[in-house]
Chain A
């Protein structure tokens, strides 16, 4: 990313000091971490690789860190790379056969959906270690006056995690940008429009798809690890289930998967939506929020497939022309 972004990043960096409450800081961290995960997903999604398996990658990242900390005392600085590597390995295990044998579109979506369910089931089944569907909390070092630990990646002050989340988000945007400017984007666009023609000009279709899948899974697992670490709690429904996969897909479609900041807009939008629903209707009507969620997804796919930011960009371009 070039210098022009430094002022914008600086402006974001002072945010935690000017917003009125730590609740707002909490929302900002949420937006940044989810934006990072959504950006990771869109690396595949923008080229037509619609994955419902990202809940699995997120869960693997999140659980690897918490479990290795609780059972082996391994610092997140070491377990995060392990969790990411594990997610990438799973991505290859699923992706390679899919791409090698040309499983695409709906079938690819189904295979990845199954992956998410498998990972969730494994977490639930290993309840003696993982805490099952009740979730698990990383052993806290924040006691007896200790308010932070770099080694444990635990901080009493949310503002510290805000900067970690901001760095992750900026990294995600940077990766998106680099791929957008690379030959890999050409190759993926070519594969997206005609695999045989792409292969005929020398593109290795399987390898290219696998590469983008590995990058996407890695970012998502990193996002999951940071999310679990920030929440100091992981639960199969909140970091690994089909619900998470669906949320990712919905948010990115809503925000716009073909533009750099689309996933970020999607994160802001979905957060406003859930918070609004929570404040507006509370828990009065059971499952109303997920019903509205599903309805909105349908509406977006039909009426605004390029998402909020994509639509806005189109409008701007047309206004200028």
Chain B
């Protein structure tokens, strides 16, 4: 479904993403992890068309999408959330998502249908919208949900979820993890998930890629990656044992 080859992004003389390559199969949930500043969000921005790659290629469903605009990438079927939520402040919750449903499908659906799909996405995510709620009253968790609902409303085949759990409590995190699994199951959406909360991530993803200084330092099954000395050294540290536990204790719900 997605094929990334030697993808590189330089900001001036600084290399944020350094010749990374990976493949993603339809229906997979891939975890993309690594320390702060290792290039995870930059990788998303490259795939999603916010940045043009300095070098390398990104093929999505057989088509080169590297260098396309964000609008074009969205229309090609890739939805993304932002690490720090970026809601449209002057629109209500339902309007935020309706807009995404309408324009995300390049006007292929009617306004009424877009409204219906937006309500669906919000119901799926569990964010109230019936009374035309505005953005201003929303807390951190609700804003993350709005990000997710907006991305889903564009009806993507591939979802790039950037740190959806930051700022959530334990129960909300479990909910969100269930949600990603459900999104894959019900809508057959392939997912790349960037997350710092390893406990939850390791139990959900099928495969993990670890970035450090813009390079892939490890890739494989969760249990393999969690036991990789390089990963423990640069990222997991003293949490390694606990993360390994999570990786082994993957619920069966994770695999189909």
Contacts and interface: CB of A to CB of B under 8 A. Distances in A.
Given A186-B91, A190-B91, A196-B50, A201 B86 contact: no
Contacts of B106: 202
Interface stretch (B17-25, B93-101, B205-213): B93-101
Contacts of B74: 199-202
Contacts of B90: 189, 192-193
A101 to B, nearest CB: 13
Given A187-B103, A200-B48, A202-B103, A193 B88 contact: yes
A314 interface: no
Contacts, number: 74
A190 B99 contact: yes
B104 interface: yes
Interface size range of chain A in the complex: 10 to 19
Contact of A202 (B71, B82, B87, B95): B71
Contacts of A205: 71
Most buried by A among B75, B90, B154: B90
Interface in B124-156: 150-151, 153-154
A76 to B, nearest CB: 36
Contacts of A196: 50, 70, 86
Interface in A203-239: 203-205
A201 B80 CA distance: 8
A183 B70 contact: no
A287 B11 CA distance: 53
Given A189-B91, A197-B88, A203 B99 contact: yes
Contacts of A153: none
B235 interface: no
Contact of B103 (A192, A194, A201): A201
B119 to A, nearest CB: 15
Nearest to B111: A183
B105 interface: yes
A150 B65 CA distance: 57
B69 interface: yes
B102 A183 contact: yes
Interface in B63-89: 69-71, 74-75, 79-80, 82, 86-89
Contacts of B151: 201
Contacts of B98: 183, 186
Q: Pick the most buried of A187, A198, A202, A205: most chain B CB atoms within 10 A of its CB.
A: A202
A193 B90 CA distance: 8
B67 to A, nearest CB: 14
Interface string B18-52: 00000000000000000000000000000011100
B88 A190 contact: yes
Given A183-B103, A186-B95, A196-B70, A202 B154 contact: yes
Given A200-B74, A201-B103, A202-B154, 5 more contacts: A183-B103, A186-B95, A189-B91, A197-B82, A201-B150
18 contacts: A183-B99, A186-B88, A186-B102, A189-B90, A189-B91, A192-B90, A196-B86, A197-B86, A199-B69, A200-B82, A201-B79, A201-B104, A201-B153, A202-B71, A202-B74, A202-B75, A202-B105, A204-B71
**Smallest CB-CB A-B distances: 10 pairs:** A199-B70, A202-B104, A201-B100, A202-B103, A197-B86, A202-B74, A186-B99, A190-B88, A189-B90, A203-B103
